[in-house]
Chains A and B, each alone.
Chain A
Amino acid sequence: MHIKDDHYTRLLQGLAYTVIILGSLACLIPFLLIISASLTSNDSIIRDGYHLIPAEFSLEGYKTVFTFPDEVLRAYGVTLFTTLTGTTLGLFFMTMAGYVLARKDFKYRNTFSFYIYFTTLFGGGLVPWYIMMTKYLHLTDSYGALILPGLMTPFLIILMKNFIRSAVPEELFESAKIDGAGDFKIYWRIVLQLSMPGIATVGLFLALTYWNDWFSSSLFINDTHKYQLQFHLYNVINSASFIANMGAGTGVSLGADLPTESTKMAMAIVVTGPILFLYPFIQRYFVKGLTIGAVKG
């Protein structure tokens, strides 16, 4: 049986479709602008400015980026390495911490929970932390400086703890113990197997943070060979001398008429590429993980 819509329902439907379509366009058009600009010839941009549809189609932007691919590829490598290492290590440490804190028979779990949580309430601030990293840990120009800052966050540990608590029933620990499994074995064979959705969500959060990180580079890295991808892009956008630098040392002289504007945009696309490509797959997990987190409170 189909009940005919009253005019309120129709009004809401109209409103919903209008607002959501407008919202989606607002989220999509900025990306189209960049893509279009990356495909426009630089002359056309200088003369007429950016358009939504390329005024003069050209691939020179991408050509320039890939004429000297070394820097981009190196930055890709750095980011890929830090993302993989950071996410793996971070996940390992955080699931372990989450597991211990989720165990009801662990006596000091409240104390340690608070010990971790307190760091979100109060901290020394950026400067003492910076001095700690550079002066005492000597992490300047090392991969450690790129990996360490994002390794663990209280928020994700608490998320992990809650997830393990709801995914693994208490009795399972007991029975595994009676069967003679040690704590680490319980963690490895039972907890990790049962918490996969939680691990996926936390892992995605971590990976995304590492992938999009530019801040660590800007604070700790002076060696241009160790720049993260995002920081490399940041420099391309913000330095007019970028093109000159790209040609330097390669023995190729570059004219003044290089497609700087379209190169910037092409570079942005190259950097964003993997995310846009993986997005449909990642997004599903994110929505699922967030949904579980939100419903469980």
Chain B
Amino acid sequence: MLLPALLFFLVNSYFPMVGVYYAFTQFDFNSGLFDAPFVGLKNFEFLWKSGTLIKLTLNTIGYNLAFILLGNVLAIVCAILLSELRHKWFKKLTQSIMFLPYFVSFVILSVIVYNVFNYDSGFLNTLLARFGAGPVDVYNKPLVWIFLIILFYLWKNLGYSMVIYLAAITGISDEYYEAAKIDGAHIFQRIWYITVPMLKSTFVVLLLFSLGSIMKGQFDLFYQLIGNNGVLYNTTDILDTYVFRSLKVTFDIGMATAAGLYQSLFGFILIMTVNYMIRKINDDYALF
């Protein structure tokens, strides 16, 4: 009964691992796996020398750190505030509304971005025109997109992580709060000294899970928002989008495999190191 799963991962995950050999070849689509001329580390060398690898790594890790940290902090704050709301129907309604963006596709997200920032008729420029300001061409401003990408990530994922934290908050026994109340702690003290520490283990678990994918991460988001807009690559290109473009647009198979292998390997080492350090500090939190 386990067979379908084993077979699936064999074909879908383990066989392609053999394909990392392409990273060391001058690949073209017509030749078989071992016919392609072997070029050693040339592909890596080129990626390294052109500065692409460093830029991609910094972008990838930078964005993911921002996603993880801001995402979790914001989710905790919102979950706490939401749990303090008095009207039950209002609580349910707002929770549903904030969870909604998680359900729509990234293509819809790109429609939204188009609707708001499009130069000719975007909502933003319509608004600016009303206040007598000139139009802004957001698609030409690489730096702005750092904030936009993070903003839209938060927009889409806040509701989801909020629900997880909300569940953890609901799990905290009322007795703690009663006792603190009797001791004269006001509501901010109760939140700071009871709720926040109680959420620590949930936070750590979510943190570790997301660290595992720090080298991958959110291809859909970046690709749907940026697409093939080269003006923005400097600040918005991550390993995933680079590999995808190399495969589908520039057909640079060897290079794309090299970048992909680097991504996997770097991520693997990163997780192993983090896991090792965590195990040293507190065994309970280690992933494996």
Residue positions of A touching B, CB distance < 8 A = 6, 8-9, 12-13, 15-17, 19-21, 23-24, 26-28, 30-31, 33-34, 37, 45-46, 48-52, 93-94, 96-97, 99-101, 112, 115-117, 119-132, 135-137, 148-149, 151-152, 154, 157, 183-184, 187, 208, 211-212, 214-215, 218-219, 230-231, 233-234, 237-238, 261, 264-265, 268, 271-272, 275, 279-280, 282-283, 286-287, 290-291, 293-295, 297
Most buried by B among A96, A126, A238, A271: A126
Secondary structure at chain B's binding surface: helix, strand, loop or mixed? helix
Given A8-B187, A33-B115, A51-B123, CB of A20 within 8 Å of CB of B16: no
Bound Cα distance A123, B261 (Å)? 8
Q: Is the CB of A129 within 8 A of B16?
A: yes
Q: Which one of B1, B15, B29, B167 contacts A97 once the chains associate, using CB atoms below 8 Å? A: B1
Given A20-B81, A48-B126, A49-B120, CB of A96 within 8 Å of CB of B5: yes
User: How many residue pairs between the two chains, A and B, have CB atoms under 8 Å in the bound complex?
Assistant: 271
Q: Which one of B11, B85, B187, B261 contacts A20 once the chains associate, using CB atoms below 8 Å? A: B85
Q: List 11 A-B contacts (CB under 8 A).
A: A16-B85, A50-B126, A116-B5, A116-B9, A125-B264, A128-B18, A128-B257, A131-B22, A219-B248, A272-B104, A279-B103
Residues of B within 8 A of A23 (CB): 78, 94, 98, 158
Interface: B171 (CB within 8 A): yes
In the complex formed, the residue of A with least CB distance to B13 is A119
Residues of A within 8 A of B227 (CB): 238
Interface: B14 (CB within 8 A): yes
B7 to chain A, nearest CB (A): 9
Residues of A within 8 A of B118 (CB): 50
Secondary structure at chain A's binding surface: helix, strand, loop or mixed? helix
A93 to chain B, nearest CB (A): 4
Q: Which residues, 224 to 243 on B, are CB-close (under 8 Å) to A?
A: 224, 227, 240, 243
In the complex formed, the residue of A with least CB distance to B104 is A272
In the complex formed, the residue of B with least CB distance to A209 is B105
Residues of B within 8 A of A275 (CB): 103-104
Q: Is the CB of B100 within 8 A of A123?
A: no
Q: Is the CB of A287 within 8 A of B110?
A: no
Give the bracket for the number of chain B residues in contact with chain A.
Answer: 35 or more
A190 to chain B, nearest CB (A): 14
Bound Cα distance A137, B122 (Å)? 44
Interface: B208 (CB within 8 A): no
Residues of A within 8 A of B1 (CB): 96-97, 99-100, 183-184, 187
